[in-house]
Amino acid sequence: MHELAICQALLAQVSELAADRQAVGVTGIHVGIGPLSGVEADLLQDAFPIAAAGTLAGAASLHLRRTRVRVRCEECGAETAVVANRLLCGKCAAWRTTLISGDELILERVELETASQEVAKGEIASVRNLRL
């Protein structure tokens, strides 16, 4: 199950961010996940508590936002949402398209607890197509 390794890598990034911000805990982790990312969202959710145990994120919630597959048509230039196994242009049905989203695994936001017991919502610069 490579989702456990992905959780561990995700938590390493979160721990680094928490240390940089001098946080005492992590309350929430928000991740965008595309259907073509190669990651099973349900397995990622199941692996998270195992990977997070004993870390600053041990009590954190993992929030997954499923992204859509979008393509740009090389024929007509349209950008359309498509299904994962049919990457044809949604406007003209051409097969020459470029994938513009749907294969990403993005750390979108981390909610940190500071020493003053306030929850700080830290916006993270998106890391597109995080490959682990």
The domains of the chain are located at 1-66+102-132, 68-101
Task: Write down the pTM of the prediction.
Answer: 0.81
Q: Determine the average pLDDT of the residues in 90-116.
A: 93
Q: What is the pLDDT of residues 52-88, one digit of tens each?
A: 999 999 999 999 999 999 999 999 999 999 999 999 9
Which pair of tokens denotes residue 47? 């692996």
Predicted local distance difference test score (pLDDT) of residue 115: 76
Written in H, E and C, the secondary structure of 60-105 is CEEEEEECCEEEEECCCCCEEEEECCECCCCCCCCCCEEEEECCCE
Q: What percent of the chain has pLDDT over 70?
A: 86
More confident residue, 122 or 97: 97
Mean pLDDT of the chain: 88
Of 48, 53, 2, nearest to 29 (Cα)?
Answer: 48
Helix H or strand E encompassing 28: strand 25-33
Which fold, 1-66+102-132?
hypothetical protein PF0899 fold (3.30.2320)
Tell me the helix, strand and coil percentages in the chain, rounded to 5: 25, 35, 40
